[in-house]
Structure 1
Amino acid sequence: MHDRLASLYPQHLATLRERADKALAVGGFDHLVIAAGTPLRKFLDDQDYPFVANPHFRHWLPLTGTPGSWIVYTPGHKPRLVFLQPEDYWHVVPAAPSGYWVEHFDIEIVRDAADAVALLPGASARRAIIGPECPAVPGAEANNPQAVMDYLHWHRSYKTPYELELMREASRIGARAHRAAEQAFRAGESEFGIHMAYLTTARQIDAELPYASIVGLNEHGAVLHYTHFDRKAPAQSRSFLIDAGASAAGYASDITRTYAAYGHAEFQALVDSMEAAQQGFAAKVRAGQSYPELHIHAHHVLANVLHEHGIIRMSAESAVASGVTAAFFPHGLGHPIGLQVHDVAGFQQGEHGGTIARPPGHPYLRMTRVLEPDMVVTIEPGLYFIDMLLEELRDTPAAADIDWARVDFFRPYGGIRIEDDVVCTHGAPENLTRDAFALT
């Protein structure tokens, strides 16, 4: 893995330098200054929230735990890393930079945040400073110029081979941990116990994961962002939904699986139908595919799944037009993924900004662009039995074409979501998630 990353990193850095040159020219700046950021302080406390480095910083370097550090890039010059290594006996001090990337940077180590700022281009320079606005760093406050951000975000959609290799690794870690979670479910563990099995196998603590894991047994699968973790196992585990990822040098995987307990054949059949549908959508991650059109196509396919299992009696066209499918599938088909789980530029019209609106009636879709090679997106259709949405559906004319006895039968299982991370290529898509599971 190390040798592979070492061979890919120089071209990755060359790509970032080329993009930075153009972004600075568009914005009228001479220097790109990127803050790693500093931790946010908890309200009325002397403790900080877990540190998450600025994704722009992580884009250049495989460093995730170096608060107070900076990258400075000036076109035509070797990029600089101003590395904060404080003298501190309260916390672990970051180790001196090492690894396959260090030869590509001029590195200056400082002991104090003020010394780091002193090494940045001065306030009179035309500098684009990218970083969080809070907490502000005196003398180097972020300005996040829109023209620069738009250009960088647009091109960040296209992953380099180096980035894809890290995303493959994040998927491999996540897939191994998912296998452990399924085993814990089959063994009768509680949600908390399943989560602990996941963390142990991933060898990552909660703060290191790219997002808070969702581990839901039975009805809890109907809560889209369920993060409660019951400590006691239910009397009977009927179903299990886990949405959990892993990190590799700041890059994320985002994986969801749903399982039926042994002996629950009808719910297993519904899971199997959703599995087949999801794989059909993933196969359509190809250059030129409109993501919103794929999302709407998914609604029609899921309407057929609902019909096949006796939940609705109407046609797919009627189910979509009347909003019935939206009650069972209330979120978007997926989103861009990379340095962030919900990565940037999903709605962006071009490298100079602009917005592509969501299609009417689909307010939670997180991507509206046309797919192009080197983009990575999630494909995560869902089918849920959510009390609030079902009660609203009962008050519509379409309620007459719904078999409410079938709905009540499936309600104790919560819901189904199956999610893969898929790379758009010049040909057939690369399914990072399925490839990772094949190795476990």
Structure 2
Amino acid sequence: MSPVDSNALNELYKAHLAEQQRRTEHALQRGGFDALLIASGIEKFAFLDDRPYVFQPNPHFKLWVPLIRHPDSWLVIRPGHKPRLVYVQPEDYWHVPPEAPSGFWVDHFELIVVRKPEEALPYLQVPGTLAIVGEADAALGDIVPNNPPEVLNPLHYARAAKTGYELLRLREASALGATAHLASQRAFGEGRSESAIHNAYLDACGFAERDLPYGNIVALNEHAAVLHYQYQDQQAPAQSLSLLVDAGAHSCGYASDITRTTGNGDASFQALIDAMEAAQLRLVDRVRAGVDYRDIHLASHRETAGVLRQLGIVKMDEEAMLAQGVTSTFLPHGIGHLLGLQVHDIGGFMAGEDGGTIAKPDGHPYLRLTRVLQPGMVVTIEPGLYFIPMLLDKLRATPAAANVDWALVKHLSAFGGVRIEDDVACRETGAPENLTRDAFAALI
């Protein structure tokens, strides 16, 4: 995507902060609090070891500032005041400390730089009743996280609708992810191993593994039938039949989450990819303001039934497949989730500002979003069709087994399965914005 003019970026960020200030003041008033303190988090260490895990900042912190490698820092948000950032920049010759604050964002904060975590404490002592957001181990003196739900619930509920600044960052993350996905497909065409394909992905997006928003799923052949396949074989298989890559990138803490499946030219598997591609695009088109996301999920099972019947994998009426649960053998996960600062962004089940839960459809326990879509929401649409041995074994024990072309299933099982995932923004009116497809289109 084209670079954004610095003035335009500043205006988007300014409007973003104004919206976060408005949401925060609303939440504080509802909860009876006077100020919001947000801990960035602390570095955590392996048990009985001095090696730290990769630092994961509090998402509430990076909602305000584009900082993802900054433990021990704090934000102080008060009605009628400029946001205060207490920025910890240690003097350290063992590690690279955070750079001095700079960039488009700094002028929007009362910026205080300290050298030690404990030096932040005086700047957190503000009058009134404090809502303090963070993990328990972020406590500093008498500043102890209390995470009041009466403040967090309205903030989490509102966060589903993205600002213009957030949409910009999500587009940038999609652009990085699309570039890397094309590199992984080229590596697959060269017959490389899962590990080598993963490294090609990292090289293309310019990330170290620690920088990824989630662990890459790089699955060759039957490994694609493992939904969250977590390994990467060092050796390439004797024959590379298929590649499923579920991987993203991030821009200033905002994630992309993209999945593509590539075949080796086998006609029956390519027919499956093509059918799933068409089904996925129809599901994407359902992302409209006022649509219940649960209905999109249920529609994904109808689409799955249609693909199974179209390709002759299951010779049953589509309604019968749904009634007998056949589609759940081949599509055992939800159609998607909210996306933003977190890959599975928070608030997907919330009934409203006061909390509460919107139930998942009966028989669909793995759906991660049950809300009615509203403008600004960014969701994933990720239908899949897999050949998972343990689920196929259960299907064999049902009356529906007589209608399955088991020879075709055996052939396709060597390819593992198909998943196609796009990141999609809901608009005020009309068709959604497909961040993922737009990113690929700009590269081809």
Fold equivalence (TM over 0.5):
yes
- The match for 1:41 is 45
- The match for 2:152 is 149
- The match for 2:72 is 68
- The match for 2:341 is 339
Deviates more, 1:288-297 or 1:328-337: 288-297
- The match for 2:175 is 172
SS at match of 1:259: strand
Q: Determine whether 1:6 maps to 2:24.
A: no
SS at match of 2:124: coil
The Cα shift of 1:89 comes to 1.4
Q: How does 1:291-440 map to 2 (within 5 A)?
A: 291-426=293-428, 427-440=430-443
For residues 297-326 of structure 1, the C-alpha deviation after alignment (integer angstroms, 9 at most, x for no partner) is 110111010011111111111111111100
- The match for 2:20 is 16
Deviates more, 1:285-294 or 1:415-424: 285-294
Q: Determine whether 1:30 maps to 2:13.
A: no
Q: Which whole-Å CA distance do the structure 1 matches of 2:404 and 2:140 have between them?
A: 58
Aligned 8 A contact 1:333 1:381 in 2? yes
Q: Which whole-Å CA distance do the structure 2 matches of 1:173 and 1:407 have between them?
A: 35
The Cα shift of 1:147 comes to 1.0
Aligned 8 A contact 2:315 2:404 in 1? yes
| Residue from 84, 87, 91 that aligns with 1:83 | 87
SS at match of 1:57: helix
For residues 188-246 of structure 1, the C-alpha deviation after alignment (integer angstroms, 9 at most, x for no partner) is 11000000000001101111111000000000000001121000011100111000000
The Cα shift of 1:408 comes to 0.8
Q: Aligned AA for 2:396?
A: R
Q: Aligned AA for 1:31?
A: A
Structure 1 residue ranges without an equivalent (≥5):
none
- The match for 2:202 is 199
* TM score, norm. by length of structure 2: 0.97
Q: Determine whether 1:258 maps to 2:234.
A: no
Aligned 8 A contact 1:68 1:113 in 2? yes
CA 1:137–1:261: 2 relative to 1, 3 Å: farther
SS at match of 1:240: strand
- The match for 1:275 is 277
Q: Aligned AA for 2:275?
A: S
Q: Which whole-Å CA distance do the structure 2 matches of 1:47 and 1:188 have between them?
A: 36
SS at match of 1:71: strand
For residues 112-160 of structure 1, the C-alpha deviation after alignment (integer angstroms, 9 at most, x for no partner) is 11111221026x7411111123454443221110011100001100100
Aligned 8 A contact 1:40 1:135 in 2? no
Q: Determine whether 1:190 maps to 2:193.
A: yes
Q: Aligned AA for 2:123?
A: L
Q: Which whole-Å CA distance do the structure 2 matches of 1:244 and 1:209 have between them?
A: 8
Q: Which whole-Å CA distance do the structure 2 matches of 1:183 and 1:168 have between them?
A: 23
Q: How does 1:71-150 map to 2 (within 5 A)?
A: 71-121=75-125, 125-134=128-137, 136-150=139-153
The Cα shift of 1:400 comes to 1.6
RMSD: 1.1
Q: Which whole-Å CA distance do the structure 2 matches of 1:126 and 1:168 have between them?
A: 38
Question: How many residues are paired up?
Answer: 438
Q: Which whole-Å CA distance do the structure 2 matches of 1:2 and 1:36 have between them?
A: 29
Deviates more, 1:125-134 or 1:81-90: 125-134
SS at match of 1:119: helix
Q: Which whole-Å CA distance do the structure 2 matches of 1:39 and 1:5 have between them?
A: 31
Q: How does 1:234-249 map to 2 (within 5 A)?
A: 234-249=237-252
CA 1:2–1:140: 2 relative to 1, 3 Å: farther
For residues 383-432 of structure 1, the C-alpha deviation after alignment (integer angstroms, 9 at most, x for no partner) is 00000011111111221221211111111000100000000001210000
SS at match of 2:244: strand
CA 1:2–1:200: 2 relative to 1, 3 Å: farther
Aligned 8 A contact 2:335 2:383 in 1? yes
Q: Which whole-Å CA distance do the structure 1 matches of 2:230 and 2:285 have between them?
A: 30
Aligned 8 A contact 2:330 2:387 in 1? yes
SS at match of 2:351: strand
Deviates more, 1:215-224 or 1:315-324: 315-324
Q: Determine whether 1:287 maps to 2:286.
A: no
Aligned 8 A contact 2:248 2:258 in 1? yes
SS at match of 2:423: strand
Q: Which whole-Å CA distance do the structure 1 matches of 2:78 and 2:330 have between them?
A: 51
Structure 2 residue ranges without an equivalent (≥5):
none
SS at match of 1:413: coil
CA 1:137–1:391: 2 relative to 1, 3 Å: farther
For residues 234-274 of structure 1, the C-alpha deviation after alignment (integer angstroms, 9 at most, x for no partner) is 11001110000001000000000001113x11100110000
